[in-house]
Structure 1
Amino acid sequence: MSAAADKLGKWLAIGGSIAVGAVVVLSIVATGTPMEQRRIRIDAGRVDDLQEIQQAVRIYWNVHDAVPADLATLANQPGANLPVADREGRGRYEYARIDDDHYSLCAVFDTDTALMRSEDYPANSQEWMHPAGRHCFTRTLGKKDNE
């Protein structure tokens, strides 16, 4: 092998290493670090939990013709297994009855959906967008399912 071929091989190896490094850096910039991805997944799980509570409120409202007074009332329904505690041990999710047709659900989020979007549904839907920190979603009960 000639000195020119050795030199070319060396430069190709260096160029290939730089290209691989650039791809890794660009991948992290585009998708976020593993820690950021973990925070997004945890927040998506929080949205799943809130959606499950929302569905339980709707069922309660259909059966009892009333908005439940508190989260304990919902959690104590026969057969209920609601996720009332935050996934990361930050206490309980918050639920508050506003009036006969409205209530709110609150949680503390690690991420801002305007900056970091989850690929999981419903966490990526418009109705579950949230900033980082404590955020409440106000929900309205409309027509009953059996009407």
Structure 2
Amino acid sequence: MSQTAWGSRLLWATGVFTALAIAAGVWVIDSPAQQRLLRLDESRLQDLRSLEQAARSYRTAHEALPPDMARLRATPGLDLPLHDPAGGPDYRYRLLDDNHFELCALFATDSARQRRFGGLEADWAHPAGEHCFRRSIKNDED
């Protein structure tokens, strides 16, 4: 085979490889709009983590979980995130029993993709749409 034929094949193979690399990059990297939705969902999760910590602190101070969001919000010295960062529905807190509560938010994305790439703890996994996280607080005597 001539040197020109090898050069043509090498050029063609390089072009195919480059096209495949670009396609793979586009598949892995989300669009700017999708990245914005992911950041908003991460902000929502951070807000829910803050609310969870506040509920745990309230339980330590009062030996009971707060009965509702209003009582939790009234805790002195706390500036709790109560509102969705994108103007969606406010976060919800619901007391289930003496040791369990739920925190709810409306999510824009399914966290399955983030979990696949190792970016999210399993206990904060969520689908797109309304989702509630059930949280448990054990008694000190247990």
TM-score under structure 1 normalisation? 0.78
- The answer to whether structure 1 residue 69 and structure 2 residue 58 are counterparts is no
Q: Deviations over 1:37-58 (max 9, x none)?
A: 2211111111110000000000
What is the aligned-residue identity percentage? 36
Structure 1 alignment gaps of length 5 or more: 1-11
1:49 — aligned with what?
47
Alignment partners' CA distance in 1, 2:32 and 2:16: 22
CA displacement at 1:22 relative to structure 2: 4.5
TM-score under structure 2 normalisation? 0.80
Alignment partners' CA distance in 2, 1:89 and 1:120: 28
Q: Look up the SS of the partner of 2:112 in the other structure.
A: coil
- The answer to whether structure 1 residue 128 and structure 2 residue 124 are counterparts is yes
Q: Deviations over 1:15-55 (max 9, x none)?
A: 87776555343212012222112211111111110000000
1:109 — aligned with what?
107
Query: Residue 30 of structure 2: which of 17, 32, 41 is its match?
Result: 32
Q: Which has the higher contact order (CA 8 A, sep 6+)?
A: 1
Q: Which amino acid aligns with 1:37?
A: Q
- The answer to whether structure 1 residue 141 and structure 2 residue 137 are counterparts is yes
Point out 4+ residue stretches in structure 1 off by more than 3 angstroms. Answer: 12-25, 115-121
Structure 2 alignment gaps of length 5 or more: 1-9
Alignment partners' CA distance in 2, 1:38 and 1:14: 37
**Is the CA contact 2:115–2:122 (under 8 Å) kept in the aligned structure 1?**
no
